[in-house]
Structure 1
Amino acid sequence: MSKLYQRLAFLILLVAIISGTVIYFTVDIHTLSSLNFFKPWALLLVLICLAVGMFFDGSRLMHLVRISGESINFMQAVQVVFGNYFLALLTPGAAGGAFAQVMFLRHAGVPIGKATVLVIVRTLLSIFFLVLCMPVVFMAESDHLPWVSPEMLLSISAGMFILAGVTLWLIRTNLLIVFLRPLLKNASHSIRRKVFALYKDVRGGVILLSSAPLSMIRVFGESALSLLALYSMVPVLFLGLGVPVDLGHVMGRMIFLNFLLYFAPTPGGSGIAEGTFVLLFASDLPSGTVGILAVAWRAFAEYLPFIVGMYFTIRTFGQDFLAHHIK
């Protein structure tokens, strides 16, 4: 069996085990009666949220490519987006997602150097939006963090912004290399090579971010709309169950959850995503439904795009190519 099919089989087994476990430990005698109130129109609205999120994700990529001096059409951008979901779920830490994006951009005619920078910028924009939102989320959740005062939250938030700003300035001016060299002095040659290659790509991304400020503001706005549309699937599922929705509360926790998932070591954050969802929303939902909604959210937000991405990837590159490149 090729590595590709081994990874697919492992992923399917992992998802089945995690989903089954989450549902098994969260259902109770009230589950079926609660689900009887679910409104089918919510599923259609969830699909609309997914479509809107993917539209703005593809649109921002098109505009990013244009800023770099290249050009792709919307269909090519959509293939990049879905291809990212496919290989990200097949690899620990979503490492394959970046490779998939570079592959599709290269196939669309974007030079590999620019493609690598564009992928980094796309990720940086998403993380930057979440970082900007985190202070608001923490302040809104201050009642649930009694051991942290509002003043401390403001200090932490200010520190995050200052650190981010200083880091970006150091990268853009290339001064960060002064600190990297002594830190990596005793590291092996391969580690130094990988770190400096990553630094070079990140610096290229930062320079691209600052090369067209007005256009980048538009791209950042599309990033925000894309993420908010995707996160909106959860409050829609809440409404489907007839649960009153505090939109700020639910969206804030989804922002926090998705920020954590950027650092999850498992493929696509599997297990961590469902478990954290249960912890965050168990008290907001009818008894016995939080596990089912966690699995439903993952099915729409990750597994459906994964299937579409698998179709685009295999149709574009073929099974032999993937089998050769997936290690």
Structure 2
Amino acid sequence: MQDEERQTAVTSHRGRTAGTWLLSVLLFLGLSAGGFAALSVVFNGPPPRFDSRLVQPEALAFILFFLLIYFVSDGLRLYFVLRAIGARVNIREIFPLVFINIFFSNVTPLATGGGFAQVWYLQKNGVPVGASAAATSIRTILAMLAIFFAAPAFQYLHPDASTSEIARITMQSLSGIGVLYLIAFILVLRRPYWIAALIGTLLSFACRLGLIAEERSGRWIATVRREAVEFANGFSKFARGSRKSAVAAVISTLVFLGVLFSFPALLLELLDYDVSWMTVIGTMSIVTFLMYFAPTPGGAGFAELAFAGFMASQMAPADLLPIVFAWRFLVIYLGMAIGMVLSVFFLRPSTKTRTRTRTRTR
């Protein structure tokens, strides 16, 4: 009887989980549609039109080439981080994770689901949880460091790159945030206990105010201390590990970001615009920087508006919506669709797990 109740509970939990993910996907789609609707109202341009120049054989060849580099470099940056910290994984096992990560990262706020999905997947493929968590964190941090450095640097070198006053003020404000982030990152690496002590003090203060229970406060403080130290140790291990793998991880990250930021320039080039690739790449570093702080799943709605705010001056109003959609389709929607299919195949319970569950219920 207990086994039947347990099986019923497991089935019910899986059903709730599936329902939650479905709602997350629908929320992402709804917010994305809302973002495009807001664009059409804010910029008051003509109705979007399909441009056949984007599907000409030569254009498709360039787009496929960029996509190949984009996805391959994304997989290689995690593979080389794993190699640098001493984890051994088959490179063929990494590439499904590229799409699985894109899917989960874009249906959870602040991309929180991507890390859990990566750790789960790597654990199923023989990588210990500690190594998986360290590798995925380092992979993310390398990209964030590059973006958080590039965005203020571009704003400093090209302060008048955007003709929008709001965009210009935003870019200037982001410089300060980027500097603060880099300082905090260095402190976590060099003095992890300082950050842990600061957060612990804030949690203790919240406890005294009655905002959180004392037991929960103590548990959170212990977790923060442990995670801060583990993060610093993991990054140190990465720096002390295989030098070749570490350098390869950094190069792969830079290639990945360079291609990611270049997609709008490619689309404009295919539509016969006179494009300054460096200006577009720098502007997209700002847009991506902003998306790190978007509370919506995958930055849906926010990403479209941020892109238009910074890039609208570089194209005709009639081309704005088609280029925004093409950009999001290539860097997000396509990977999400593939990732959704691969998630069902790779993250489903193994045959052994299902067999053990059936045996226990008999």
Q: CA deviation at 1:162?
A: 5.3
How far apart, in 1, do the equivalents of 2:235 and 2:327 lie?
33
SS at the partner of 1:49? helix
Equivalent residue number for residue 28 of structure 2: 11
**Post-superposition shift, 1:317?**
1.9
Per the TM alignment, residue 293 of structure 1 is displaced from its structure 2 partner at its CA by 0.9
Alignment of 1:260 with 2:315, yes or no, is: no
Whether the aligned pair in 1 keeps the contact of 2:85 and 2:242 (CA below 8 Å) is: no
Gaps of 5+ in 2: 1-14, 208-216, 354-362
Match among 183, 187, 209 for residue 238 of structure 2: 209
Greater radius of gyration (CA): 2
Aligned equivalents of 1:153, 1:195: Cα separation in 2: 27
1:1-327 equivalences under 5 Å are: 2-23=19-40, 26=43, 28-29=45-46, 32=49, 35=51, 40=56, 41-143=58-160, 164-171=185-192, 174-186=193-205, 187=207, 188-212=217-241, 214-215=243-244, 216-318=246-348
In the aligned structure 2, how far is the partner of 1:310 from the partner of 1:132? 32
SS state at 2:87 partner: coil
Separation in 2, partners of 1:261, 1:74: 29
SS at match of 2:96: helix
The 1:176–1:190 alpha-carbon spacing in structure 2 relative to 1, beyond 3 Å, is closer
Q: CA deviation at 1:23?
A: 4.5
Q: 1:26 to 1:6 in 2, by over 3 A?
A: same
Instruction: Give the alignment's Cα RMSD to 1 decimal.
Output: 3.1
| Post-superposition CA distance 1:13-72 (Å, at most 9, x none) | 33333334435654644864x946656333442232122021112112112111222211
Indicate conservation of the 8 Å contact 1:37/1:242, yes or no. no
The 8 Å contact of residues 54 and 60 in structure 2, kept in 1 or not, is answered as no
| Greater shift in the superposed pair: 307-316 or 127-136 | 127-136
Structure 1 residue 127, shift from structure 2 partner: 0.6
User: Is the 2:101–2:339 contact (alpha carbons within 8 Å) kept by the matching residues of 1?
Assistant: yes
The two structures have a TM-score, normalised by structure 2, of 0.76
Task: Give the conservation status (yes or no) of the 8 Å contact 1:47–1:300.
Answer: no
Larger RCO of the pair (alpha carbons < 8 Å, separation 6+)? 1
Contact preservation (8 Å) 2:85, 2:237: yes
Give the Cα separation in 1 of the matches to 2:118 and 2:229. 18
Question: Counterpart of 1:325?
Answer: none
Amino acid at match of 2:273: V
Q: Distance in 2 between matches of 1:306 and 1:38?
A: 21
| Structure 1 contact 42–240 (Cα < 8 Å) conserved | yes
Distance 2:174 2:101 in 1: 34
CA contact (8 A) 2:109 2:296 kept: yes
- Find the aligned partners of 1:118 and 1:37 in 2 and give their Cα distance: 41
Count of aligned residue pairs for this structure pair: 315
Deviates more, 1:92-101 or 1:46-55: 46-55
Moved over 4 A (4+): 23-27, 29-32, 36-39, 144-148, 152-164
CA pair 136-7 structure 1, distance change in 2 beyond 3 A: closer
TM-score, normalising length from structure 1? 0.84
- Unaligned ranges ≥5, structure 1: 322-327
For residues 39 and 278 of structure 1, the distance between their equivalents in structure 2, rounded to whole angstroms, comes to: 23
Q: Classify 1:79/1:31 alpha carbon distance in 2 versus 1 (closer, same or farther; 3 Å).
A: closer
